[in-house]
Amino acid sequence: MAPRRSQLRLSIGAASTGLWSSWNGKRPLVVTRLLLLAAAALLGLSAAGTIELTFTLQPSYALLGLAALCGLPWVVDGWLRLPRSVQAAAAALIVVYLVATLFGSPARLASQSRSGTLRPLVYLVDLGLGLATIGLLCGVWSSTFARRLLVVFCAGATLTALLAVYQWFALHFGLALSDINSAPNSDGFTTGHRFQGVGLLGWERTRGTFKEPLVLGIFCIIALPLGILAFRTSSGRLRVAAGGCCVAVVAALVLTVSALSVGIFAATAGVVALVVALRDGHVRVSAALGVSVVLGLVVGPALLSNPSALSSLTGRSSDDLKLTADNRKSAWRAAVRHWQERPVLGYGPGQSSVRLAYRPDPRAVNRTVAPIVLGSAQGIWAASLIDAGVVGFCAWIALFGSLLALGVRAAWRDRGPRLLLILWAASAAVLASQLTGDRVDFRVWVALGALTAASQLSGGERAHRQREPEQPADERRSNGVGVELARR
């Protein structure tokens, strides 16, 4: 019996090895890259083109999921290439949320289907897909693929911005296709057009294909540094197109009249500029930027919470700005209160929205009755306290900190603008995730994945690869797991 069992093990091992080898071949690689390119092109679709499967499924999200499944060998390969600190932070985050799921205290709303038994699973899948996106981008990254990814993303961002600009005119003049959104609005139960407040020239603020102007503004501040990167690194017609992308994105950002988005954009720009000044040894400039950043951190929050000051700058009413600020502060105070009841591991993934559920004012949407809808902790830091306690909060800090530190170290060694601009986009995305939403948006994961992959490619983070023998680019393997792509 022993020889037969041994032969059976060898046969199973050979079959699995052959299956894995065919899985990480060239055809799956091509399909994975095409799926990633399609996802990047459609990142501007948020509340439009969605499918309701209890939870809203966005096109890019579905494409990223398919890419992660098709490119699983490169997901593993990408994560194996990352520093131990990043691997440990990601592993800790997964363990914390699994433990919080097992030992949490989930609540459900009878009137809200999204608060059912699938909610923790959806949040775990969402976290897994985010981490898989980082590994996948690191696994399939190459200079050629990065250029293609940048081109298709900028093309999609241009169309998204132009649609937002058109919407600004269309809403004012009553033109067709002024709103194409099909997903629930931020109130949780209405869809389609909802008045977004008065903005530039007294016209309604634009939100494009997003739920509200703030989210469109966040997309714009992520897209603008990447548009500048495309402009800096291209020539001819592509350079003209990249310039048009930057102009369109700036126009859409202005029409959102989102003070928070502009504040995040300016804050991250100041930090990146400080990194450049320190790196290049400009002492006086570094000192001036350091003082400016500190003042911005002190004055910025006070300015954002002062409706009268912002009203004169943005043209929006003080009441509108006060309502926005009060909603965010109320959500944070409520999140802290719930966290104090279960401070260590929280209530479980996705519970922040359930615990902060509320009944909106039906008069705001011309309804007579409004159902109880899920709330928002207005930032992953507050949501993590309710979902996974102080342990989850620290795990998120470790992950974000390790990934951004990886980018800063690579940008410190690399003298070109490429890494700095990607660092700018990723930093803006991470900071925005701390001030809105109850989980990390997949666009933030894509920005972090691009930063991590570009940092690995820069040379400063590849000391362990220098010991590997040179092989043809498409034939390299990493730890016998997946294909390392051409680093051209």
How confident is the model over 259-279, as pLDDT tens digits? 899 999 999 999 999 999 998
Please state the rounded mean pLDDT for residues 4-29.
60
pLDDT tens digits, one per residue of 198-252 = 888 889 999 999 999 999 999 999 999 999 999 999 999 999 999 999 999 999 9
CA distance 307 to 316: 9
pLDDT above 90 (res 479): no
**Which pLDDT score is estimated for 159?**
97
- List the single range of 127-136, 276-285, 311-320 with lowest mean pLDDT: 311-320
CA distance 247 to 162: 10
Which of the four pLDDT bands, split at 50, 70 and 90, describes residue 350?
very high
For a pLDDT cut of 90, what percent of the chain falls above it? 61
**Which pLDDT score is estimated for 113?**
77
For a pLDDT cut of 70, what percent of the chain falls above it? 86
Please state the rounded mean pLDDT for residues 347-367.
85
**Which pLDDT score is estimated for 459?**
54
Strands 51-53 and 55-57: antiparallel
pLDDT above 90 (res 282): no
pLDDT tens digits, one per residue of 88-110 = 999 999 999 999 999 988 888 87
Domain boundaries, the chain: 2-483
Read out DSSP for 21-69?
HHHTSHHHHHHHHHHHHHHHHTTT-SSSS-EEESEEE-HHHHHHHHHHH
Instruction: Confirm if 425 and 443 have CB atoms less than 8 A apart.
Output: no
pLDDT: which is higher, 360 or 21:
360
CA distance 143 to 482: 18
